[in-house]
A and B are shown apart, each in its own frame.
Chain A
């Protein structure tokens, strides 16, 4: 059970300004069914350029509906310039706060508002579009967006960033990257790192190397493959040769060769040793082909 404020409950059970304005001055859309929440925001201006009417349609949980409802209430009467300055924190504060894990709902509200304003100004981009380098592939979150939620909400851990914009919440493969971004933005005033990238060791005994390879596969490689319905198994280690077998979806995948080099080998080199190279176990490959 989530602990929602009375204001959140009020806006969820009695949402204001539901619907869509016909021939709106601005329209913004964000999210999708797959992501679990989506919002379509429309607004109309009066003669003085102030927001006269704003309406929403939302698919999502209680806090997604409440933030959408409250957003329409907040921006009514604002000029476009004023509306542009509304941050996700303003929306959350207006509701008397949101549970940490639900802060991404307030970010969704701000993104839809932004897209609607740009649509009003340029006539284009009614959909919230990705700008710049994508860091989280699962949820399609860019570096720019991550930097922004960190700045506006003074975030200091990867977990916070996931709560605010979903980045890192899927396969977890980008969590190291997010940690780096937090470090850059916050100038190394990180509270406590949720994911710590182990410094590459200088010298390893055979046993240590094997354990580190297994750990790297468990923590860095398998989660990324699992997110796509695949899996990997460590078969053997002979000197610097690491023999692995792909399972599930990966076993039938046409780009398995690419995954082997670009994902498995590069991660192992990054975390264990530059000398490592990876080969696929031929025997288990034959077995899988036999089954099909």
Chain B
């Protein structure tokens, strides 16, 4: 059966061009870029090129790019590295809807005695900016707010928040894992000090991430060891991953218009058709101010895992904010923070598209989804016969 992949916020297909760029660096040019011989030295040249490609795409200087193992590592490095370098400030500000790669890091630091403030969102998913402005003070070491929410696609005003933080001498970090490659981001004139991105969310392979660190930002290294990445991240470079990410960034630049026109249109079609054909469902999150590829829809009175398994049988891959295990009281911390009622939160499904999706796939999904929803509704004790 053909796989229809609508789960690109989880991970993406490696672009064939990216794979081709990486291919020679496994069996042929496998040298260590730190070596003295020219065999390794040539590889170092390719890493330099990858760094330039990433920097060019983000609008920053190549020296401001640190390659890491993943988005989670970038987030850990940013938050812990800033705190370690600013011992006089003990307050961390983040949002209630962050990815666990930020939220859990912050909560762990709270247990170590730091003061943590989690800013809430309203029912459209927008951040409480008044509260945020109120909380940022001269005690604040770091403000970490995501660029785009992974579950709803909601975008946050990161440039504005970065300015607020800077006005009190606090460092602003953004987890931009979901936004990079989907909407334009230019760091050249931005007050953002640190930014995390992850390769596998923009058609590069898993296992490569980036932390952008603006020049002049004091940051303690997270990984100790060798002198790689100018002493800021020890460990032999993921050579093929870096080369692949460089190429992926180049492609992301080329496809940026496509993401924001064709992909957005496909997403809107999918969303509108589902809403029109199924009763009792709602789109979670502010409609305009969000990623062009993401749609989070709640189907009331039915449960997410059951929907996913039914979709899976039709070859459609999506995801659900609710992981129904015994220990999950909260269906999705993001939807609950938005005040989505339990009737809708348990049955939320996230569809996230990419440039590889086609109109035919949307048409197929739109045919398959309504009968699945109806079937599960017939089973539910909360819907009338």
B382 with A38: CB separation less than 8 A = yes
0 or 1 for each of B289-323: is its CB under 8 Å from A? (1 = yes)? 00000000000011111100110010000000010
Bound Cα distance A36, B382 (Å): 12
Does residue B342 face the partner (Cβ distance < 8 Å to A)?
Answer: yes
Number of interface residues of A (CB under 8 A): 48
Kindly specify which of B60-68, B178-186, B324-332 makes contact with the partner chain: B324-332
Instruction: Give the residues in chain B near A20, CB-CB below 8 Å.
Output: 385
Does residue B168 face the partner (Cβ distance < 8 Å to A)?
Answer: no
Whole-angstrom distance between the Cβ of B45 and the nearest chain A Cβ: 42
Whole-angstrom distance between the Cβ of A204 and the nearest chain B Cβ: 18
A37 with B303: CB separation less than 8 A = yes
Instruction: Give the residues in chain A near B116, CB-CB below 8 Å.
Output: 231
Closest to B377 in A: A59
Does residue B276 face the partner (Cβ distance < 8 Å to A)?
Answer: no
Decide yes or no: A60 and B306 within 8 Å by CB, A36-B328, A104-B326, A234-B113 being known contacts: yes
Bound Cα distance A50, B328 (Å): 38
Does residue B129 face the partner (Cβ distance < 8 Å to A)?
Answer: no
Bound Cα distance A57, B301 (Å): 12
Bound Cα distance A19, B385 (Å): 8
Closest to B130 in A: A291
A166 with B326: CB separation less than 8 A = yes
Bound Cα distance A171, B328 (Å): 10
Bound Cα distance A18, B385 (Å): 11
Whole-angstrom distance between the Cβ of A69 and the nearest chain B Cβ: 9
Bound Cα distance A150, B196 (Å): 46
Does residue A64 face the partner (Cβ distance < 8 Å to B)?
Answer: yes
Does residue A154 face the partner (Cβ distance < 8 Å to B)?
Answer: no
A15 with B379: CB separation less than 8 A = yes
Number of interface residues of B (CB under 8 A): 33
B309 with A36: CB separation less than 8 A = no
The secondary-structure label for the interface of chain A is mixed
Whole-angstrom distance between the Cβ of B61 and the nearest chain A Cβ: 39
For window 47-101 of A, CB contacts with B under 8 Å fall at: 57-62, 64-65, 101
For window 93-139 of B, CB contacts with A under 8 Å fall at: 111, 113, 115-118, 134
Does residue A162 face the partner (Cβ distance < 8 Å to B)?
Answer: yes
Closest to B336 in A: A229
Whole-angstrom distance between the Cβ of A12 and the nearest chain B Cβ: 7
Closest to B118 in A: A248
Bound Cα distance A64, B134 (Å): 46
A33 with B382: CB separation less than 8 A = yes
Instruction: Give the residues in chain B near A64, CB-CB below 8 Å.
Output: 303, 306, 324
Does residue A183 face the partner (Cβ distance < 8 Å to B)?
Answer: no
Does residue B167 face the partner (Cβ distance < 8 Å to A)?
Answer: no
Decide yes or no: A36 and B324 within 8 Å by CB, A18-B378, A62-B305, A62-B309 being known contacts: yes
0 or 1 for each of B361-385: is its CB under 8 Å from A? (1 = yes)? 0000000000000000011111001
Decide yes or no: A291 and B305 within 8 Å by CB, A36-B346, A37-B324, A169-B328 being known contacts: no
Decide yes or no: A162 and B115 within 8 Å by CB, A29-B381, A62-B305 being known contacts: no
Ordered by A's residue number, 24 sampled pairs between the chains whose C-beta atoms are within 8 Å are: A12-B306, A15-B379, A34-B342, A38-B381, A58-B379, A58-B380, A58-B381, A59-B301, A59-B302, A59-B380, A60-B306, A61-B303, A61-B304, A61-B305, A62-B306, A64-B303, A65-B306, A102-B326, A104-B326, A139-B329, A168-B327, A170-B327, A214-B113, A234-B113
Additional 19 contacts, C-beta under 8 A, given A59-B380, A163-B326, A169-B329: A12-B306, A15-B379, A20-B385, A33-B343, A33-B346, A36-B322, A58-B381, A59-B301, A59-B379, A60-B324, A61-B305, A61-B324, A62-B309, A64-B324, A102-B326, A164-B326, A170-B329, A171-B329, A227-B329
